[in-house]
Amino acid sequence: MQMNFEALSRAATEARGLAMDAVQASQSGHLGLPLGCAEIGAVLYGYLLRHNPDQPRWINRDYFVLSAGHGSMFLYAWLHLSGYDVSIEDIENFRQLHSRTPGHPEFFETPGIECTTGPLGQGVGNAVGVAMAAKMAAAHFNTSEHRIFNQHIFCLAGDGCLQEGVSSEASAFAAHFGLDNLILIYDSNAITLDAMARQTQSEDTRKRYEAYGFDTQEIQGDDMQEFLDACNIAKERNNGKPQFIIIHTVAGKGIPEIEGTAKAHGEAGAKFVDAARKNLGLPEEHYFVSKGTREYFAEHKKKLLADFAQWETTWEGWREKNPEKARALDDAIDKKVPQDLLEKIPAFPSDAKLATRKAGGEVLQPIAKAMPNLISGSADLYGSTMNYIKDSGDFTRDNPDGRNIRFGIREHGMCAILNGVSYHGIFRASGATFLVFSDYARPSIRLAALARLPNIYIFTHDSIGVGEDGPTHQPVETVSALRLIRHLDVIRPADPEETAGAFVAACERIDGPTLLALTRQNVPMLNEIDAKLRREGVRRGGYIAKQESAPLDLIILSCGSELQHALAAAKELGAGTRVVSMPCMERFNR
């Protein structure tokens, strides 16, 4: 089917109108990207993307990630036109409290939003994670007879995204691991918020991405045929290289007073909207969508649904021929965890004296066998964080079936990529580094919590117990800072048995991320506490580790490697002292 340029050009104009009306009404927002990239949206949503507006979470859809999340009206306009459950009323409530069209896209708030983005560069990492997960899903579940996963991941990023360090980490990772299903579209409009981009950057971005190992193309933003051709070339190459399309756009296109200037980034053009709408040929009616545009997208939706029905035939054939794979995929999608997971972890010897990171490494192995969709990454620290899944291999371009992900020294990139894996929805994502380096990754951890992603962070070398590495590596204030992140569970187990309970608690939680803070130094088995109580108590978030044997005089709350000292202190303080192990206040309060 040939692309209908006339219909899509009209749709691009009307998408500009929707963005201008919404920003004008809210007196806040960002016009630059929605206006400058309207033709990109027309080609993607009006022709190229494989998706299903009636089933936004279809597992084999193409993904579109808006890394430059401030341009959210771009998404809301095209989702509305495409037939997603995003109404004109929703667009009228743009940026209003509790609306379905928040200022920056939020996962689960709006149908068709793939990732929570806004902090620049995060979406690049997310898109890389989705692309990796799609490769893994294809390797795990496709057969020679049935290809149920063959996705492409499109990501739109601006100058600000590519200036952020997280995009560099993620891009280098994507190229090294050959994620050729990733198409990164660079909205090169030569502006940033404060000023023209030339005042803060002078590198050759195309050469930069070629140096990473991307295939690159460079085109003009107002030529839909050129953009379509570039995307088709990118999709068809399949050469082990991610794709990078530089598209030169005009920020704020359609508002002559500000287009192509830094003022176009935000809402400065709102006061010129009435004249701009007239210049674009739009009627006085606000939030206008023509009958012709409605009819075009209704017809296009029929094609999308026909493609989906064809895939469903493949899906049913695959399920019939591969019942074990089908059950495994169903369990992965439903995020099922074996009810007897805790029982699968052998008890530790009563005389064991292990660092909780080492105990965690032992606990991980039976969990990984019971949860085949669990993947485990590390930022160049497997030997220290102990979270390598044995007998499962490394994820590489030649072995996308591997469950261990070597992220390199890229903590921020790792956590942004883990978010993308979770957004894809098949694999349980976990990653490890030293606890003190969580500060490098904090923005991605915070977004995981905001999006309620079930990530698992295995962060080791907790507290001053790191010892001779000195204060730069002793995360004495880090746990307190992490506990401030809403929806993040932070668990500090005290001994190997508590560590077993902590890992199971992390796996069982599917409505948000969990961070395990584990020791480098050995800790004793707390045999004065029943082993079952230690395991189960952590799952509850807290429990009484030592009951007072006289009228209650004092309660000591402790956790992690300090619990042993709290128990010792209680003996000296007398029979009226109670000790509570509180490894996770967030779980306890729920």
Q: Which long-range contacts (CB under 8 A, 24 or more apart) does 205-214 make?
A: 205/162, 205/246, 206/244, 206/246, 209/171, 209/184, 209/244, 212/171, 212/172, 212/174, 212/175, 213/175, 213/176, 213/241, 213/242, 214/171, 214/174, 214/175, 214/184, 214/241, 214/242, 214/243, 214/244
Hey, what are 376's tokens?
Answer: 């485990």
Pick the CATH number of 5-308 from 3.40.50.720, 3.40.50.970, 3.40.50.620, 3.40.50.1110: 3.40.50.970
Nearest to 518 by CA among 585, 423, 432: 432
Question: What pLDDT is attached to residue 465?
Answer: 83
Distance CA 439, CA 175 (A): 25
Mapped to the 3 state alphabet, what secondary structure does 305-355 carry? Answer: HHHHHHHHHHHHHHHHHCHHHHHHHHHHHCCCCCCCCHHHCCCCCCCCEEE
Domain extents for the chain? 5-308, 342-539
Question: What pLDDT is attached to residue 133?
Answer: 99
CA 424 to chain centre: 8
- Contact of 45 with 75, CB cutoff 8 Å: no
Amino acid at 269: G
The answer, as to whether pTM is greater than 0.85, is yes
Superfamily classification of domain 342-539: Thiamin diphosphate (ThDP)-binding fold, Pyr/PP domains (3.40.50.970)
Q: Which residues are catalytic?
A: 411
Amino acid at 282: L
Fold agreement (5-308, 342-539):
yes
Hey, what are 325's tokens?
Answer: 């794979």
Task: Identify the bridge partners of residue 578 per DSSP, sorted by sequence position.
Answer: 555
Distance CA 127, CA 590 (A): 32
Nearest to 518 by CA among 385, 408, 394, 333: 385
Question: What pLDDT is attached to residue 240?
Answer: 96
Mapped to the 3 state alphabet, what secondary structure does 503-555 carry? Answer: HHHHHHCCCCCEEEECCCCEEECCCCCCHHHHHHHHHHCCEEEECCCCCCCEE
Give backbone dihedrals phi and psi of 578, rounded to 5 degrees, phi first.
-105, 140
Distance CA 458, CA 516 (A): 5
Q: What is the distance between the terminal CA atoms of the chain, rounded to a whole angstrom? A: 54
Nearest to 328 by CA among 341, 318, 317, 342: 318
- Match 């026909």 to its residue by tokens: 306
- Contact of 584 with 538, CB cutoff 8 Å: yes
Question: What pLDDT is attached to residue 195?
Answer: 64
Full pLDDT tens readout for the chain, 590 residues: 688 999 999 999 999 999 999 999 999 999 999 999 999 999 999 999 999 999 999 999 999 999 999 999 999 999 999 999 999 999 999 999 999 999 999 998 899 999 999 999 999 999 999 999 999 999 999 999 999 999 999 999 999 999 999 999 999 999 999 999 999 999 998 877 776 677 888 899 999 999 999 999 999 988 999 999 999 999 999 899 999 999 999 998 999 998 888 887 767 667 888 899 999 999 999 999 999 999 999 999 999 999 999 999 999 999 999 999 999 999 999 999 999 999 999 999 999 999 999 999 999 999 999 999 999 999 999 999 999 999 999 999 999 999 999 999 999 999 999 999 999 999 999 999 999 999 999 999 999 999 999 999 999 999 888 878 889 999 999 999 999 999 999 999 999 999 999 999 999 999 999 999 999 999 999 999 999 999 999 999 999 999 999 999 999 999 999 999 999 999 999 999 999 999 999 999 98
